[in-house]
Structure 1
Amino acid sequence: MKIEKIHHVAYRCKDAKETVEWYTKNLNMDFILAIAEDHVPSTHEPDPYMHIFLDAGDGNVLAFFELPTKPEMGRDPNTPVWVQHIAFKVKDRDTLLQFKDNLEKNGIQVLGVTDHSIFHSIYFFDPNGHRIELACPDPDEDAMLKKLDAVKWDMLEEWSKTKKAPRHAAWMHEKELSDV
């Protein structure tokens, strides 16, 4: 028994139409489905909602719920804003830079490009306040992933005991920190 893949990932949105328009305009996603009900099928709770689905590429589906009768969206105040995010892969660095340019032309503040050694990323927020990451592979990704694979269990064990960052993969960001 094994999971095949993620069917869809669902988040809450403030406005379904605005969300569809933002993702189609800024990330070139296709709007593929909308479902609206007055009752929640799983709980039978009377609560109207709009459930929208966007094609995030390669069979990946990003979904949102607009819940007009619920209190305004918030976020967990104990979790830093950089932790919870949606990351999408793009083909290469040129594509990443094209997205960065287009997002900035559309008035969206973009952080990065951040070099994570195995991949490079930019970060920004959607109109609902969800942090989005676009990442492209580094040309040496395969070799670096092998290095990380070799130490993953040792890192996890050390973290589990000490709750301090193990140094097994410190090479990933040492170059970036030396540039500061």
Structure 2
Amino acid sequence: MTIDLEAINAERDRIRADYLQEPGARPASSAQGLHHFALICSDVRATIDFYQGLLEFPLTEIFENRDYAGSNHFFFDIGNGNLLAFFDLPGLDLGPYAEVLGGLHHLAISVSQEKWDHLRGKLDAAGVEYLVESEKSIYFRDPDGARLELLADPLGEMYGTQVL
């Protein structure tokens, strides 16, 4: 399969021209922020050990999932008033995580450069495999295989480009 990069770049330019407004001309968002992003996990304790113990995202609450009796719904503080949530769904043999079209590619979480360096050391100590890009992004997988990125850029910025 051949990819026509010239055509792809031309279409990106058309999309930018058709939809992207300059910062001063953009309307305010109707949203207040990300309340929580929900993922599924196979083991509640392993998930808490990973996210709270390794990544230092404090567990803020755990209660029964209102949609599935016996399932837990639990939350981690990922800063700036945002939460990362999980469900375990016991008895529903869901199989391993898989990247699919329309599914999660990765979840990028902003951290300071100092915290990025610290957490990279913890990933090393724990034997977690990862990939570093541009000394700002570190990609790795959680215990269920979901891909995460720790990005050492401020919110609204990516590799020196303002995205917000």
TM-score (norm 1): 0.64
- Distance (whole Å) between structure 2 residues aligned to residue 34 and residue 26 of structure 1: 19
- Distance (whole Å) between structure 2 residues aligned to residue 97 and residue 3 of structure 1: 32
Q: 1:78 to 1:86 in 2, by over 3 A?
A: closer
Measured against aligned partners, the alpha-carbon deviations of 1:71-118 in whole angstroms (never above 9, x if no partner) come to 233444644x9x6111111112x4322211111101111211x11xxx
Q: 1:120 to 1:5 in 2, by over 3 A?
A: same
Match of 2:6 in 1: none
- Distance (whole Å) between structure 2 residues aligned to residue 109 and residue 143 of structure 1: 23
Query: Which residue of 148, 153, 159 corresponds with 1:132?
Result: 148
Match of 2:7 in 1: none
Q: RMSD between aligned alpha carbons?
A: 3.0
- Distance (whole Å) between structure 2 residues aligned to residue 53 and residue 33 of structure 1: 5
Q: 1:76 to 1:89 in 2, by over 3 A?
A: same
Match of 1:145 in 2: 161
Match of 2:25 in 1: none
Q: 1:63 to 1:95 in 2, by over 3 A?
A: same
Match of 1:165 in 2: none
More helix by share: 1
Say whether the 8 Å CA contact 2:136–2:159 is kept in structure 1. Answer: no
- Distance (whole Å) between structure 1 residues aligned to residue 160 and residue 138 of structure 2: 20
Q: Name the SS of the counterpart of 1:23 in structure 2.
A: helix
Q: Name the SS of the counterpart of 1:48 in structure 2.
A: coil
Percent identity over the alignment?
Answer: 28
Match of 1:73 in 2: 95
Say whether the 8 Å CA contact 1:123–1:132 is kept in structure 2. Answer: yes
Q: 1:3 to 1:69 in 2, by over 3 A?
A: same
- Opposite residue 24 of structure 1, the aligned amino acid is Q
Query: Which residue of 62, 70, 76 corresponds with 2:84?
Result: 62
Match of 1:96 in 2: 116
- Distance (whole Å) between structure 2 residues aligned to residue 51 and residue 20 of structure 1: 12
Q: Name the SS of the counterpart of 2:70 in structure 1.
A: strand
Say whether the 8 Å CA contact 1:34–1:53 is kept in structure 2. Answer: yes
Say whether the 8 Å CA contact 1:47–1:69 is kept in structure 2. Answer: no
Say whether the 8 Å CA contact 2:63–2:72 is kept in structure 1. Answer: yes
Matched, 1:27 2:48: no
- Distance (whole Å) between structure 1 residues aligned to residue 148 and residue 100 of structure 2: 19
Say whether the 8 Å CA contact 1:126–1:132 is kept in structure 2. Answer: yes
Match of 2:19 in 1: none
